[in-house]
Structure 1
Amino acid sequence: MAENSHVDLGFVEKTDTGKLSCQYFPSKVGGKPAWLSLSSLPSPNQILCSKCNNICVFLLQVYAPIEDDDNSFHRTVFVFLCKNPNCHQPNSSVPFIALRSQLPRINDFYSPDPPTPVTPVPDNGDKLCVVCGISGPKCCSKCHSRSYCSKEHQIIDWKKGHKLNCNECKEDKTTNTSQVLFQEYELLIEDEEFQKEEEKSEPEKKEELHSFLKSEKASSLLQDCSSEELEKMSNQSEDKVFLKFRKRIDHAPEQVLRYDRGGCPLLVSSDNKPDKIPNCTCGAQRQFEFQVMPQLLCHLGVDQVGDSIDWGTLCVYTCSANCYHGNQYQQEYLWKQDYSK
């Protein structure tokens, strides 16, 4: 008997960056974060990689309000990561940070009415780093018109253009931050169209996996994987978890995100399962909300020889009670799983 899915899928699409500003409550990948609450932003120290102590950069955000919660009329979950490939080790979530923000309909920043094409960006928030878009408590000591999260980003801004405009009356153009940020995309959300089929025999599954790994579709989907990694996948052909993963994403191979709040993640391996998810600081259990798929790596430009940013899947768990902290951001839990060796 067929089993209908209630999972939402995310796909990236290039779009007008104006549509991705905070007043339109976007879901997006790359660029600067479109913060929900515009004050009480996480400090730069809260967005440091705990391994190398560098500022993490924005990866993506998912706008996910909860209809039956008055304090979640607006609600967004953010993910940041360290761009230092040496910090990315197998099955380690150390270089990642997940944050949640939520607001009631009546709040300090946005109108209770839906935004229009001419709705302006609110101007009553914290100062932002001109390079990466996180909280910018530092500023240029000469002109005091540019904010930064760190000395490192101030140096980048100085070298990339501010040196020519500092202390001049003309408006300083935005620094080219392509070396710091990921390319920006809109994250489009669609219902997953999938029906569970009758279980196949183990020999059928094994043969199907080998055929898939040799196909053009597999080459496209797993283009960031080395030949060694593909060989590992081939060798784990009896891993039922990976077979289920491959079968499910085959229906929509371009998906970069799966959203299923309160559901279960689609794992890539029977190893390193998420069995011990820590409770929220409020004491409530955390529940699965969404996962970031390996296909997103194809759009980030992070593939390189040697150490590289990589994952099988990134699973984000959030407070099941959806605890409310006003304009403050709440840190949530991200769990990483890689392919079996």
Structure 2
Amino acid sequence: MVGILLGLPGQWAEDELESSDHYTTKIGGLPDWPPLPDDVMRAELLNCTSCGSKLSLVAQVYAPISTENSERTLYIFGCLMMPKCGASEQSWRALSVQKAVKEKESIETEDLPVASPKDTPSKPHWLDDGDDDDDEDFDFESLAKAIAEAATTVASNSKKPKSKPSGSTSTGTKAKPSPLKSETRVVDQVKVETGAVLPCFYIYTKEEKVSIKDVDRVSVSYSSMSIKDKETSEKKDESEAEEAWEDEKYEYDKALNADRTYLKFQKRLDANSEQCFRYSYGGKPLLATEDLKSPEKCRRCDSPMVFEMQLMSPLIYFLHEAVVDEGLKQSLDNWDWMTLIVYTCSKSCATSVTGDWIVAEGCIAVQKEKPMNLDHASFFK
């Protein structure tokens, strides 16, 4: 079974420009880059492909996937400048920054199997329509141990959090205003400009505990309710032609499945209502809607992309509560997504180039909330 780590709000940084290191997991602020050479980070990677503006850091996640190489961090950027950019996949970017390893020292993946789309060729949908609680073949315990060991070894001097961002109940100091202007952070030889700076708070993680019975109960209860609706509708519409019935049944089933997907998503979100992200390398995302295209292959090495993590909507609430600048508040209002799903290279691109550091671009899918259709009888009228 694939384990899931939840990213929960820790404490606010004293200042949104507060410097830390690339072993730190946080929301907002400026990116803490490792010592990258000048020619590794291309400036255009931090430009919005929709409007051309500089992207802002939304999340920085320390994410080693093996004890063989603890130098790996994910950076997720979004555009705050144009209203249309908030929900556009072209305005979001995920970068995996990691240290290259020699071929003979390449990351061993036997102990951390990756559930790539090719692993389930017999399924009609590449993600498999079944419950993700039945996933197998992923040693989550090894992953958690690897992260813990790596963090203990290399993150001893990372920043300590200051106060928990718990909305109106927070007793800590909130971040200062973040005007809509670009900021630059210099790390060794690297000078990288980003967009407006969001309030910064640190993240701690815990493993998600999910009862399969609770998850199944949503589907069973909802299905029972829907079956009753369908039976009632059938009695009312016995005179309809068989051809019309088949068309309506297809639409009904389609809507029913979409509603079940959303209910499952909402239940898992409600169980940990402060979750800012979900991490499950090689697992399956928690879908808000059933509409999800297969990710493209890695642009660098043409390997399949796999799910690694997803941002959740509570982080928008925390950022919005902390922002003082009205321009930023309005920009955050345009982020009306339910979840951002992040895919990265299944091979980690760790041996595809020569050099110390690799910056690999991931893929992000945006899912927005769709209204649930509870008036199922309307499909049979």
The structure whose Rg is larger is: 2
Partner of 1:240: 260
How far is the alpha carbon of 1:245 from its aligned partner?
Answer: 0.3
Letter in 2 for 1:260: S
Q: How does 1:242-261 map to 2 (within 5 A)?
A: 242-261=262-281
CA contact (8 A) 1:85 1:309 kept: no
How far is the alpha carbon of 1:62 from its aligned partner?
Answer: 0.8
2:347 to 312, 321, 325: 321
Distance 1:17 1:104, change over 3 A: farther
CA contact (8 A) 1:57 1:132 kept: no
Number of residue pairs aligned between Structure 1 and Structure 2: 253
- Once residues 118 and 305 of structure 1 are traced to their aligned partners in structure 2, the CA distance between those partners, rounded to angstroms, is 30
CA contact (8 A) 1:257 1:292 kept: yes
Structure 1 residue runs of 5 or longer lacking an equivalent are 107-111, 120-129, 137-146, 154-179, 207-234
Partner of 1:189: 205
- Over residues 268-294 of structure 1, what are the superposed CA-to-partner deviations in whole Å (9 max), with x where a residue is unaligned? 112x21334333420110100000001
Residue 101 of structure 1 pairs with residue 97 of structure 2: yes
- Once residues 263 and 365 of structure 2 are traced to their aligned partners in structure 1, the CA distance between those partners, rounded to angstroms, is 21
How far is the alpha carbon of 1:54 from its aligned partner?
Answer: 0.7
How far is the alpha carbon of 1:308 from its aligned partner?
Answer: 1.2
CA contact (8 A) 1:262 1:288 kept: yes
Letter in 2 for 1:249: L
How far is the alpha carbon of 1:338 from its aligned partner?
Answer: 1.0
How far is the alpha carbon of 1:132 from its aligned partner?
Answer: 2.4
Q: As a proportion of its length, which structure holds more helix?
A: 2
Partner of 1:173: none
- Once residues 192 and 223 of structure 2 are traced to their aligned partners in structure 1, the CA distance between those partners, rounded to angstroms, is 58
Letter in 2 for 1:331: E
- Once residues 368 and 155 of structure 2 are traced to their aligned partners in structure 1, the CA distance between those partners, rounded to angstroms, is 40
- Over residues 236-280 of structure 1, what are the superposed CA-to-partner deviations in whole Å (9 max), with x where a residue is unaligned? 89611001101112211110100011011001112x213343334
State the TM-score, normalized to the length of structure 2.
0.58
- Over residues 173-211 of structure 1, what are the superposed CA-to-partner deviations in whole Å (9 max), with x where a residue is unaligned? xxxxxxx211001011111121111432226678xxxxx
CA contact (8 A) 2:295 2:363 kept: no
Partner of 1:335: 365
Partner of 1:310: 336
- Once residues 65 and 361 of structure 2 are traced to their aligned partners in structure 1, the CA distance between those partners, rounded to angstroms, is 18
Residue 56 of structure 1 pairs with residue 55 of structure 2: yes
Distance 1:266 1:327, change over 3 A: same
1:149 to 193, 203, 207: 193
CA contact (8 A) 1:131 1:148 kept: no
How far is the alpha carbon of 1:296 from its aligned partner?
Answer: 1.0
CA contact (8 A) 1:205 1:243 kept: no
Structure with greater contact order relative to length (CA < 8 Å, sep ≥ 6):
2
- Once residues 275 and 115 of structure 1 are traced to their aligned partners in structure 2, the CA distance between those partners, rounded to angstroms, is 35
How far is the alpha carbon of 1:45 from its aligned partner?
Answer: 2.1
Distance 1:114 1:205, change over 3 A: farther
Q: Report the secondary structure of 1:258's partner residue.
A: strand
How far is the alpha carbon of 1:135 from its aligned partner?
Answer: 6.6
Partner of 1:262: 282
- Over residues 103-139 of structure 1, what are the superposed CA-to-partner deviations in whole Å (9 max), with x where a residue is unaligned? 2699xxxxx96454499xxxxxxxxxx9523579xxx
Partner of 1:227: none
- Once residues 98 and 192 of structure 2 are traced to their aligned partners in structure 1, the CA distance between those partners, rounded to angstroms, is 25
Distance 1:115 1:240, change over 3 A: closer
CA contact (8 A) 2:81 2:331 kept: no
Q: How does 1:108-147 map to 2 (within 5 A)?
A: 114-117=154-157, 131-133=182-184
- Over residues 61-94 of structure 1, what are the superposed CA-to-partner deviations in whole Å (9 max), with x where a residue is unaligned? 11111225x3x3211010111102423365x301
- Once residues 118 and 300 of structure 1 are traced to their aligned partners in structure 2, the CA distance between those partners, rounded to angstroms, is 22
Partner of 1:274: 293
CA contact (8 A) 1:49 1:82 kept: yes
Could you tell me the percent identity over the aligned residues?
Answer: 25
Residue 74 of structure 1 pairs with residue 71 of structure 2: yes
Partner of 2:30: 32
Letter in 2 for 1:149: E
- Once residues 83 and 256 of structure 2 are traced to their aligned partners in structure 1, the CA distance between those partners, rounded to angstroms, is 26
- Once residues 49 and 306 of structure 1 are traced to their aligned partners in structure 2, the CA distance between those partners, rounded to angstroms, is 16
How far is the alpha carbon of 1:304 from its aligned partner?
Answer: 3.9
Q: How does 1:168-247 map to 2 (within 5 A)?
A: 180-197=196-213, 198-199=216-217, 200-202=220-222, 239-247=259-267
Distance 1:135 1:42, change over 3 A: farther
Letter in 2 for 1:291: Q
- Once residues 5 and 118 of structure 1 are traced to their aligned partners in structure 2, the CA distance between those partners, rounded to angstroms, is 28
CA contact (8 A) 2:83 2:334 kept: yes
Q: Report the secondary structure of 1:46's partner residue.
A: helix
CA contact (8 A) 2:22 2:32 kept: no
